[in-house]
C-alpha cells in the first residue's frame, strides 16, 4: 500500500515537473523572440504545449490552405516545441526554394526517416552533403537522367505491351479494372528491369497487390503529422501508434529488398551480364570510389526503397486522377481521342515520340499536376540559419512546408481553380508553364536542389502511360456507378480515397494489342 501511494505521488510529481518544464521552455523561446524585436509571420495561436498540432485534422493540406486565406502567403505555426513556416503562393515558395534554397537544403528529423528510410540513409531524407550528392549522381547517371531514360525506353514499351494486353483480355470478359493495381504492377516491373534486370512480378495477382498496399501504407504513414516529431519528449509514448506501424512495415520492405539483392548477387555469380544494371553499379560503388565516398548495404537498400515506392506511387496517383477527371468530363476524353486519332490513327500503339505532337494530352497532364499534385505538401525542409522572408523573421531550425496543393488552388493565380480545364495550358501565359521546378505556379515535384530526383522520369511515365491507356481504350464506369467519388486521402502522396475502377473497350486495330 505504501509503495503504491509512493508510486502515485512520484508519478504526479514527475507529471507536474514535466508540465512546468514545457511551459517554461515555450515561454522563454517566445519571450526571447519578442525582446529581440523579431517579427514572426502571422499564424494561429494554437494551444499550450501542443501548439497548432490539434488544428491539422486529417487533411492538413486543406487546413493549411484555409489558414493561408486568413493569415497570408507566409504563415508561422508553433507545432509542439518546434517552429514551422508554411508557404502557400508561387512568390513565397520561390523565396524559400530558390532565393533561400541552400539555407533550406536539409530535412528535419522525423519518424519516417528514422523507421522507414533506414535512419535517413536514403536519398530523400539524407542531409545535403557528399553521400546525398553521390546517391543523386548515380541515380541521374544510370536511371533517372535524360540519357538513362532514353536507354530504358524499350523496357517501358515492352511493359506497356504486357499491360494493355492484360487490359484487352479483361475487356473481352467485361471485367472491371482497378487502375491503381494495374499501374503499380506495370511500373514496379519497369523499375525492376532497370534496377535488377528482371520483372519483379511475372503475373498480376496477390504479390503485386500486396506490394501496392505496402507502398500506399508507406506513403500514407510517412505523411502523418506525428506528435513525437513535434514534441520529442513524448516520442517514446508513440501516442498515435504511428511508429509501431512504421517499424512493422519496415521489416516487410527490408525482407523484400534483402531478398532482391541476395538473388541478384547469386545470379551475377552464375552468369555475367553484358550490360551492368543499376544494382550492379550500386554494388560496385560500395567497393570503391575515387572521391572517397562509399555506399553501404544500408545505403543501397534505402535508395532502392526510394525508387520502388516513390517511383511507382507518385506517378500512378497522377495517372489515376487524370483518368478519373476525364471520366467525369467526357468532353475532355473525346477531345484527346480526336487529337490522337488525327496524329497517330488506330492501326498502331501509342509511342513516346508521339507526345510532342499532342499538346492537349500534355495540357491534361499539367492540369492534373495542378489540381491533384502527387505530393500535396512538399517534403519538409529545415532552416540551417535564421533568415528573413517578406520582412518576417524565420528562426534557425524552423521547419518549412510548401503547400503545393494550395498553390494549385490559388484564385489569384488560376481562373476557376476548382474546375478541371486543360485548355488553360494551351494559350496565353500558361502555355509556357513547365512542371520541372522553374515555374513556381506549377511545382508538383518541388523545386531547388532538393527537387524530386525522379522529376524527368515522372513526367515521362505520366505522359507515356496515360497516353497509351487513353489511346488504346474507351473508358466507362462499372455498371451501377453513377457518381464518381473524387475524395482525397492524405499522405506524402495524394491518393484517391476510393480507388478508380473502370470498364475498358478496345478502340484500336486488334493487331495493336498483340505482344
- Binding-site annotation, residues: 452
| Nearest alpha carbon to residue 166 among 418, 482, 500, 473 | 473
Question: CB–CB of 317/374 below 8 Å?
Answer: yes
Q: What are phi and psi of 367, to 5 degrees?
A: -65, -35
226 to 59, 222, 233, 236, 472: CA distances (angstroms): 14, 9, 13, 12, 43
Kind and range of the H or E element at 183? helix 179-196
Which of helix, strand or coil describes residue 85?
Answer: strand
Q: How far apart are CA 396 and CA 103, in angstroms?
A: 9
What cell numbers appear for 224 in the block? Answer: 502523418
Is residue 361 within 8 A of residue 380, CB to CB? The reply is: no
* CA distance linking residue 128 with residue 135, whole number of Å: 11
Q: Which segments are annotated as binding site for heme?
A: 452
Contact between 61 and 377 under an 8 Å Cβ cutoff? The reply is yes
3-state secondary structure of 77: strand
Contacts of 218 (CB under 8 A, 6+ apart): 116, 249, 253, 309
Amino acid at each position: 500500500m505504501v509503495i503504491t501511494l509512493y508510486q502515485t505521488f512520484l508519478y504526479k510529481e514527475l507529471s507536474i515537473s514535466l508540465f512546468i518544464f514545457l511551459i517554461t521552455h515555450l515561454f522563454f523561446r517566445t519571450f526571447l523572440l519578442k525582446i529581440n524585436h523579431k517579427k514572426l509571420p502571422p499564424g494561429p495561436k494554437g494551444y499550450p504545449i501542443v501548439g497548432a498540432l490539434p488544428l491539422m485534422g486529417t487533411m492538413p493540406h486543406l487546413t493549411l490552405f484555409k489558414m493561408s486565406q486568413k493569415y497570408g502567403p507566409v504563415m508561422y505555426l508553433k507545432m509542439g516545441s518546434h517552429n514551422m513556416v508554411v508557404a502557400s503562393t508561387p512568390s513565397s515558395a520561390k523565396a524559400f526554394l530558390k532565393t533561400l534554397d541552400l539555407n533550406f537544403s536539409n530535412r528535419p528529423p522525423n519518424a519516417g526517416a528514422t523507421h522507414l528510410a533506414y535512419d535517413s540513409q536514403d536519398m530523400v531524407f539524407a542531409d545535403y552533403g557528399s553521400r546525398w550528392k553521390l546517391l543523386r549522381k548515380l541515380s541521374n547517371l544510370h536511371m533517372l537522367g535524360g540519357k538513362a531514360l532514353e536507354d530504358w525506353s524499350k523496357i517501358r514499351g515492352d511493359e506497356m505491351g504486357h499491360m494493355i494486353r492484360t487490359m484487352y483480355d479483361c475487356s473481352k470478359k467485361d471485367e472491371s479494372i482497378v487502375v491503381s493495381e494495374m499501374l503499380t504492377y506495370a511500373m514496379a516491373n519497369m523499375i525492376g528491369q532497370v534496377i535488377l534486370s528482371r520483372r519483379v512480378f511475372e503475373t498480376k495477382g496477390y504479390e503485386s497487390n500486396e506490394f501496392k498496399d505496402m507502398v500506399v501504407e508507406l506513403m500514407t504513414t510517412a505523411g502523418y503529422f506525428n506528435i513525437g516529431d513535434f514534441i520529442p519528449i513524448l516520442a517514446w509514448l508513440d501516442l498515435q501508434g504511428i511508429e509501431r506501424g512504421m517499424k512493422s512495415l519496415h521489416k516487410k520492405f527490408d525482407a523484400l529488398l534483402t531478398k532482391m539483392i541476395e538473388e541478384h548477387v547469386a545470379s551475377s555469380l552464375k552468369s555475367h551480364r553484358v550490360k551492368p544494371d543499376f544494382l550492379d553499379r550500386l554494388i560496385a560503388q560500395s567497393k570503391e570510389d575515387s572521391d572517397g565516398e562509399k555506399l553501404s548495404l544500408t545505403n543501397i537498400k534505402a535508395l532502392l526503397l526510394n525508387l520502388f515506392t516513390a517511383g511507382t506511387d507518385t506517378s500512378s496517383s497522377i495517372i489515376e486522377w487524370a483518368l478519373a477527371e476525364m471520366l467525369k468530363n467526357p468532353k475532355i476524353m473525346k477531345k484527346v481521342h480526336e487529337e490522337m486519332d488525327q496524329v497517330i490513327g488506330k492501326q498502331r500503339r501509342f509511342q513516346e515520340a508521339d507526345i510532342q505532337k499532342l499538346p492537349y494530352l500534355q495540357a491534361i497532364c499539367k492540369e492534373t499536376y495542378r489540381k491533384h499534385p502527387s505530393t500535396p505538401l512538399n517534403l519538409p525542409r529545415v532552416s540551417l540559419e535564421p533568415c528573413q522572408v517578406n520582412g518576417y523573421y524565420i528562426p534557425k531550425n524552423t521547419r518549412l512546408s510548401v503547400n503545393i496543393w494550395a498553390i494549385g488552388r490559388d484564385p489569384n493565380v488560376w481562373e476557376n481553380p476548382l474546375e478541371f480545364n486543360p485548355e488553360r495550358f494551351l494559350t496565353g501565359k500558361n502555355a509556357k508553364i513547365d512542371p520541372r521546378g522553374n515555374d513556381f505556379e506549377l511545382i508538383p515535384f518541388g523545386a531547388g536542389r532538393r527537387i524530386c530526383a525522379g522529376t524527368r522520369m515522372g513526367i515521362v511515365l505520366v505522359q507515356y502511360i496515360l497516353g497509351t491507356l487513353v489511346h488504346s481504350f474507351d473508358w466507362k464506369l462499372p455498371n451501377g456507378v453513377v457518381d464518381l467519388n473524387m475524395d482525397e486521402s492524405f499522405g506524402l502522396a495524394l491518393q484517391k480515397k476510393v480507388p478508380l475502377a473502370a470498364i475498358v473497350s478496345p478502340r484500336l486495330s486488334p493487331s495493336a494489342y498483340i505482344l
